[in-house]
Structure formats: structure tokens, C-alpha cells
Amino acid sequence: MRKKIVAGNWKMNKTAGEAVVLIGEILDLLKIRPVTEPLHRVVIAPPFIALTKATEILKGHPYVFLGAQNCYSKPKGAFTGEIAPAMLVDAGCEYVIIGHSERRSYFKENDTLLMEKVKIVMGNKLIPIFCCGELLSERETGKQYDIVRSQLGNTIFNLSREELQDVVIAYEPVWAIGTGVNATPEQAQDMHAFIRKLIAEKYDSTLADEMTLLYGGSCNAANAAELFSQPDVDGGLIGGASLIAKDFVEIIHAL
């Protein structure tokens, strides 16, 4: 059965102390109104420096899990400033965001590197939240399907069926990230249906039907319910709105 997920990508925001406060606020609101659907999950991805504090607070929580925003493609060694997947496991992470558009554009991460990251992440039993999505210029020229097809085809579609079934895909059109201009529910549904069709063609329709596909890009408390009501949208990867406890919890309840 398809899981539904709301994941908060905090990006480079919040000190460890501030993270403790924000996670506490989120958990307090979830105590008042808990998530009761067994297949619904929440992921919180704070900065690395907050992971060990966050894991203490989240330990044993039935549906809120810890995630990281990135990791390196090697197990250990002389890679100054990088972090290994095993370190994230040790810090209590279960999920890792891979291939966010900010990593692709600012840090020049390409498909080859992203595939190496996915492989090592999965080898460490972490669940990748793999991001894809087109630029505005690509959508304006009708290339969005080709872009997403090649982003997936060059990376996670090289996984075996058994491997791919554990991956979460996040469709995040770059023009919608942090801009306040979300994809319309129709645009999100259209691309999610396209991704599911690609999975069915490359693998099979059972797998396509079971995979969790998240939408990301200016998803907020006001638009989440309509986006999530689309048949192929199984939740969201939330940036800005995940930094405000009340908004994030409203988004969780929009699942």
C-alpha cells in the first residue's frame, strides 16, 4: 500500500537549540490532534547540527521520523566538510533528501553523483527522497516531461525493482520552490501521473501504483489539501512552511 508523507526540509535554517523548540511545538500540536492513518508519515529534516538533539526528542515516535537534507557518496575518508550516510544512521536518520534542485544548481550535483548517493544511502538502509523537476524555461518550452524522464532515467531507474520500491520521489518544479507560485493541482497531478506511467513502463504497474510521489514547491497550509487531493499526489516536501509549527501541522492534516 502506498504511504503518504509530509516531509519538512528546513534547509539552512535553525540552530540546534531553535530546532528543539520547533520540533517541540510540532509534537505538542500533534499531541492535541494526532495522525491516526496508519500509512501516514511525517519526516523532519533539520540541519545536520540539530540531528542528534532532534533524535532524542523523536525517539520512538510512532509516525514522525528524522531525515537529513544531503549526504556524500562515499562511506568515509578525506572529504572535508562532507557527511557519510552511516553517520546519519548513527544520528537517528531514516530518510535523506537526495538531488534537491538547490544541490543540483548551487553545488553542481549531476546525475552520476546523485546515483552514487542513492546507492550508498540505500546500502545503509536509509530511504532516499529523490527530487526531480524542471526549470521555468524548460516548462515554458514544453520540455518538462523530457527533463523529468531523463532525471529519473539517468538515476533511480537504474535500480532494481526491489530497490526502487523503497525510494520516495519528490516532484519539485524549480520555478515553484520558494517563489510563492505553486504548481496548480492539475499541473502536479499531470506530472505525477506521468512519473507513475514511466515507472509502469520501466518496471510494472503494481510498483507504479505503490510508490509514494510527493509534490514540493510553495506548498503551504492554504493549498496543501487541494494538491494532496489529487489521485497521484501522496503528500509533500515542504520548505518555508515547515518552519512554522502551526502551518506544518495543518499541512500534515491535509494528507
Q: Can you give the binding site for ligand PGA, defined by CB under 6 A?
A: 9, 172, 177-178, 216-219, 237-241
Cβ nearer to ligand PGA, comparing 103 with 208: 103
Vertex 157 angle, CA 84 and 123, to 5°: 30
Whole-angstrom CA distances from 139 to 51, 143, 183, 252 are: 36, 6, 11, 29
Tell me how far apart the alpha carbons of residues 188 and 182 are, in angstroms, rounded to a whole number: 9
Name the grid cell of 41: 508519515
Minimum separation from the CB atom of position 239 to ligand PGA (A): 2
Q: Which residues carry out catalysis?
A: 100, 172
Minimum separation from the CB atom of position 216 to ligand PGA (A): 4
Minimum separation from the CB atom of position 219 to ligand PGA (A): 6
Cβ nearer to ligand PGA, comparing 72 with 215: 215
Cβ nearer to ligand PGA, comparing 71 with 208: 71
Cβ nearer to ligand PGA, comparing 92 with 173: 173
Give per-residue burial for 36-75: e unless 16+ CB within 10 Å, then b.
eeeebbbbbbbbbebbebbbebbeeeebbbbbbbbbbbee
Using CB positions, name the residue nearest to ligand PGA: 239
In 3-state terms the chain splits into helix, strand, coil percentages (rounded to 5) of: 45, 15, 40
Minimum separation from the CB atom of position 179 to ligand PGA (A): 7
Cβ nearer to ligand PGA, comparing 67 with 216: 216
Give per-residue burial for 185-200: e unless 16+ CB within 10 Å, then b.
bebbbebbbebbebbe
Distance of alpha carbon 107 from its chain centroid, rounded? 18
User: Position of cell 520558494?
Assistant: 178
DSSP 13: -
Minimum separation from the CB atom of position 11 to ligand PGA (A): 7
